[in-house]
Structures are given as structure tokens and as C-alpha cells.
Amino acid sequence: MNATVLYYSHKGKTAGYAREIAMYLWSKGFNVSLCAISDFDRTKLQQTDFLFLGCWTCGWFVIGQHPHRKWTTFVRSVQDQLPEKVLFFTTYKIRTGSMFRRMQRAAGLAPSAKAMRLKSRTGKLSEQDKIILNRFTETRKQ
């Protein structure tokens, strides 16, 4: 199975979180591609079974959180190529607020869609994150 982890990072925390996600998936036997959105070859989406899209949380400390404009522009440009198996992830300082809702909207997913999500204040993969990753990849293999 092929997994692609794409991210947009501001100061490196989201890039580190993306690396931890990619390494965990690799340890589970996935063929993993890890890349910043600025360096991504869009044709690789055709071979992607599981897509992990991440961005740092922009906006006010408590309200108005949103993905960065560069991430939103990228996701909208590949919206029609996204596989059905997408998980969103973000890093944040205080709260994620409306971040995931806005990420889903940028990807063209209905608000009612139950997209899986990961979030980290530290940029480190937690045991709970690993459980979510396992659930996401196991349920989608069937």
C-alpha cells in the first residue's frame, strides 16, 4: 500500500510531525512518500492509496484558525485528484478551532464528511495518534 504525507510548515513543527507520521507508517510496512507541498509531483497522487495532508494552524490564538493560503491553494489545485482515503493533520499553539472544517472545505469535502484528523501541540506523534493511524489504515484496506 502506498501512503503519501504532504505538508506545509512554517517553522518546522509541522514538518517534524509529518516525518513522524511517515516513519510510523513505514514501520507498519507502507511504501511512504513524504514531501512538502512546494516540491510535490502531482502525478504521484495517482499511485496513492492513503493521503495525509497537513498544515500549521494560522489565525488568532483562540478564533479564526485556518490553513495557510499556500496550503489551501495547493489543495484546491489537486482537489479532483485526491484519493478517497484522506486524513488531515495540523500543529497548533492553543487550539485548532475551525482548522479542520476549513481544511475539508479546501479539499472539496462536504462538512458532513467524517474525515479522520490528527493534531499536535508539540509536533510529536502520540500513542493516541498511532491508534488513529492504525484505525484509518486498517479500516480502509478492506
- pLDDT tens-digit profile of 20-63? 999 999 999 999 999 999 999 988 999 999 999 999 987 766 66
pLDDT of residue 113: 80
Distances from the Cα of 132 to the Cα of 25, 27, 82, 83, 120, angstroms = 12, 15, 20, 19, 13
Q: 53 CB contacts (<8 Å, ≥6 apart)?
A: 6, 7, 75, 86, 87, 88, 89, 103, 107
Given a cut of 70, whether residue 102 has pLDDT beyond it is yes
- Which DSSP state fits 111? T
> Between 24 and 92, whose confidence is greater?
24
pTM over 0.75: yes
* Residue 142 confidence class, pLDDT cut points 50, 70, 90: very low
- What average pLDDT does range 77-94 have in this prediction? 91
pLDDT of residue 62: 64
pLDDT of residue 141: 46
